[in-house]
Amino acid sequence: MSGVAGRSGNKSKYNPEYHVDWAWSLAVKGATDEEIAEAFGIARWTLHRWKSTFPELREAIEDAKAKADANVEKSLYQRALGCTTEETEFVYAVDDDGNTKVVGHKTKVKQVPPDTTAIMYWLNNRKRGVWTQRQEVQLEAHNESDTDVVIVLPHNKRQERIEGTRVVEAEEYHGEE
């Protein structure tokens, strides 16, 4: 087996003639580094060593992962907005000899409505400050004798009260009461 000499002088299993293309084809289909290493029959740390030693391998994997991520982002975006798709339905017939053959087809344009889960995911990640689902609560006491607890709520207009507390909107609170 041809290979490239490793740091210890032993021949590595790495072969740029096929590992680069193989890694790219796995990564573009969504494979993780662990799955690529498993396909190669090596440990994950060996793949990481190869990526740091052989820039063409690292670049191929990074390029393929970026392409796969872009495809998923595009699909998520299309699901969030809704889209139209074409579906083709084939009509089959069986001839006198028992062979099946296509005798016609119908193409339908189908409207896919926007997906609220995709919309929420997109907005929670792209507009985090406006659309976050996480509530941030800030508790503060200025000295040990303070008995009031101030809860600063985010900008979402929720007015929930906890017994013994005052509710202050975030934009109204300046750290001193």
Same domain membership, residue 75 and residue 23: yes
Give the chain's radius of gyration (CA, Å): 29
Residue 67 falls inside a structural domain? yes
Helices (H) and strands (E) in the chain, counts: 6, 5
CB distance 136 to 128 below 8 Å: no
Q: Which domain holds residue 64?
A: 19-79
* Same domain membership, residue 67 and residue 89: no
Q: What is the pLDDT of residues 11-41, one digit of tens each?
A: 569 999 999 999 999 999 999 999 999 999 9
The whole-number pLDDT of residue 145 equals 62
CA angle 44, 45, 50 (to 5 degrees): 100
* Residues 75 and 86 reside in one and the same domain: no
**Tally of structural domains, the chain:** 3
Q: What is the pLDDT along the chain (177 residues), one digit of tens a residue?
A: 445 544 544 456 999 999 999 999 999 999 999 999 999 999 999 999 999 999 999 999 999 999 999 999 999 999 999 999 999 999 999 999 999 999 999 999 999 999 999 998 888 888 877 787 766 666 666 666 656 655 555 555 555 555 555 555 555 555 554
Residue 2 lies in a domain: no
pTM for the full predicted model:
0.57
Contact in structure between 23 and 61 (CB atoms under 8 Å): yes
**Side-chain half-sphere exposure of 153, counting CA atoms within 13 A:** 13
> How big is the chain, counted in residues?
177
Quick one: CA torsion of 53, 56, 61, 66, rounded to 10 degrees? 130
Q: Closest by alpha carbon to 18, among 6, 2, 30?
A: 2
Residue 142 CA to residue 30 CA, distance in Å, equals 51
Structure tokens at 24: 């790219």
Look at residue 177 in the predicted model and tell me its pLDDT.
46
On whether residue 5 sits in a domain, the answer given is no
- Residue 9 maps to a domain: no
In a domain, 143, yes or no: yes
